[in-house]
A and B are shown apart, each in its own frame.
Chain A
Amino acid sequence: MTQTQHQGASIAFKAVGKAFQKPGGGTVSALENVTLNVAPGDITGIIGRSGAGKSTLLRMVNGLERPTSGRVLVDGRDVGAATGAALRGIRREVGMIFQHFNLLSSRTVAGNIALPLEVAGVPTAQIKPRVADLIARVGLSAQADRYPAELSGGQKQRVGIARALATGPKVLLSDEATSALDPETTQTVLALLKDINRDLGLTIVLITHEMAVVRDIASHVAVIDGGQIVEHGRTYDIFAAPQHPTTRSFLSGVTGVTLPAFIRHRLSDAPPATGGDEVIRVTFAGEHATDPMLALLTTELGIAVNILAGAVEEIGAQPFGNLLISLPAARGAEARAYLERHNLLTEVLGYVS
């Protein structure tokens, strides 16, 4: 059997709220009024701090959690309202992978991948070739008869991915699937997910607390904070112009551009009464280059610029740069206006005297 061409499904969260019962009575609100649309074939990264509500949100897509208000639609079908066989039917169209893999220790690689097919009542004769296909797809043909205990973390996650794909789902959910893996293995697993997205066209929603994962794989990103989506959009746009402080703090980690300690310790929120320097983050996207702009700042406006830190990297296929500079506080507004006029984004980080 060859890989069938799957079509991704759309996912829509409509004013979704979730309150958990506290053991001693009362409720904890995990999600509030979340509205989010995921188009078929998108890879959407959901990022947020611990306890922000990421897992709760994701688990609603396959009905592991039910909304207490609002609706969650997968391909137009209301997951929260589905029960019994209808819900199990939806679940077969939504694969899920987990941080700790959740493989059966009692089954071999092939046995684990066969499980969802057995559960779906696929005839035994059809299971074997399908499993062999899936194993080949994730590159584990040599390990087919091994038990999970004999595999590395990366291999286990490959089994998890093959298992999630077994029933030919339209959606793949990933809850911190690379958080237990080292950076190199993370890259190979992300590459596999990308391939699967490209070849099968399925919609992927992945939770992560690492912006680097979002940068490497996600076409869209939703930032969740305190149970609410505070920012959502195309990954590139969010990286280029983060609006919410939470997004910014996640981004400052991933861009690897941080203030040198000697400046960070002296940074204050208010400009000094006289003199002093303004510290600015300059972000550029696409073909806009900063170097000439900074040079022009000096030659055209006569403002002396100090470069404190900087890096250029790629998101999608586009270059993305991040510079930290300081210049005389008195001319800060003028300089920022000039840079913004030339399509660079600026953000004042503080002042040093």
Chain B
Amino acid sequence: MSANLINLLIEATGQTLYMVAIATLIGTALGLPLGVFLATSQRGELLSAPWVNKVLGLVVNATRSIPFIILVVAIIPFTRLLAGTSIGTTAAIVPLTIAAVPFIARLVENAIREVDEGLIEAARAMGATPLQIIRKVLIAEALPAITLGLTLAVVSLIGYSAMVGAVGGEGLGDLGIRYGYQRFMPEVMAVVVVILIVLVQLVQSVGERIAARVDKRAPKGRGQ
């Protein structure tokens, strides 16, 4: 494999990491509060706002039911508005983020709904405000599950990022398609796949490790 190709691979890996990292960051910044709100705003819950909950739930479901490749194309005008251009790696971050937000929101919602009702009750009995309960009880207790959820989100985003070649986004997926498929260089395709496998494996094990560290629910074995 030529030095040129190796450079291309390194560059593509960097682009993939860049897209996924920014999409995860913004996706979490928006998805986490959205997920918390979805988990606490049904009738009779902490932030009881059943109508807002319903509407947001519908929007989240709608966004999640659009196949990613269609989403990428469908929001091109919006992407241009936001990124100044509708093609290229930076532009590709827009659809990735838009896919990430509802996905992360649902993962966070599920994680928070797993928190024992009794803890909310205990916190209410202490005189905690809804925001204190969310911060000190719900998010703290759901942290292991949220961490695993974010891990899943990052892995999914790595997969999605392979499709942004369609709008001129670069990265590993795009490289694999252009060289491996269109230029008949199966070895490039193979290397891309291997790098993706390694990336996903890495993300997964780091995520699991962090989740295990923040999870105090089961006693740790001796010698850890």
Contact = CB atoms under 8 A, between A and B. Distances in A.
B126 A167 contact: yes
Contact of B125 (A94, A106, A147): A94
A105 B217 contact: yes
Interface string A86-122: 0111111011101010111111000000011011100
A337 interface: no
Given A119-B136, A149-B217, A106 B118 contact: no
Contacts of B122: 96, 98, 102-103, 163
30 contacts: A64-B121, A64-B125, A87-B127, A88-B128, A91-B127, A98-B118, A98-B121, A98-B122, A102-B116, A102-B118, A102-B122, A104-B137, A104-B140, A106-B140, A106-B214, A107-B140, A107-B216, A115-B123, A115-B136, A116-B126, A118-B136, A119-B129, A119-B132, A119-B136, A120-B126, A149-B217, A149-B219, A163-B122, A163-B126, A173-B125
Interface of B: 116, 118-119, 121-129, 132, 136-137, 140-141, 143, 214, 216-219
Interface of A: 62, 64, 87-92, 94-96, 98, 100, 102-107, 115-116, 118-120, 147-150, 163, 167, 173
Given A100-B118, A149-B217, A149-B219, A119 B141 contact: no
B127 A116 contact: yes
Given A106-B214, A120-B126, 6 more contacts: A64-B121, A91-B124, A91-B125, A95-B125, A120-B127, A149-B216
Contacts of A106: 140-141, 143, 214, 216
Given A116-B126, A119-B126, A149-B218, A102 B121 contact: yes
Given A102-B116, A104-B119, A106-B140, A115 B218 contact: no
Contacts of B118: 98, 100, 102
A170 B218 CA distance: 35
Contacts of A150: 219
Contacts of B216: 105-107, 147-149
Given A100-B118, A105-B217, A62 B140 contact: no
B112 to A, nearest CB: 13
A88 B219 contact: no
Nearest to B120: A102
Contacts of B124: 64, 91
A91 B132 CA distance: 15
A99 B109 CA distance: 27
Contact of B127 (A88, A102, A103): A88
B196 to A, nearest CB: 34
Nearest to A147: B216
Contacts of A89: 127
Contacts of A118: 136
A120 B218 CA distance: 29
A87 B155 CA distance: 45
B43 to A, nearest CB: 11
A92 B126 contact: yes
Contacts of B219: 147, 149-150
Contacts of A87: 127
B125 A62 contact: yes
Nearest to B129: A88
Contacts of A94: 125
Contacts of B214: 106
Contacts of A105: 141, 216-217
B134 to A, nearest CB: 12
A100 B128 CA distance: 20
Given A64-B121, A98-B122, A100-B118, A119 B128 contact: yes
| A-B pairs with lowest CB-CB distance, top 4 | A91-B127, A88-B127, A102-B122, A102-B118
Nearest to B143: A106
Nearest to B141: A106
B120 to A, nearest CB: 9
B119 A102 contact: yes
Contacts of B143: 106
Contacts of A92: 126-127
A105 B141 CA distance: 7
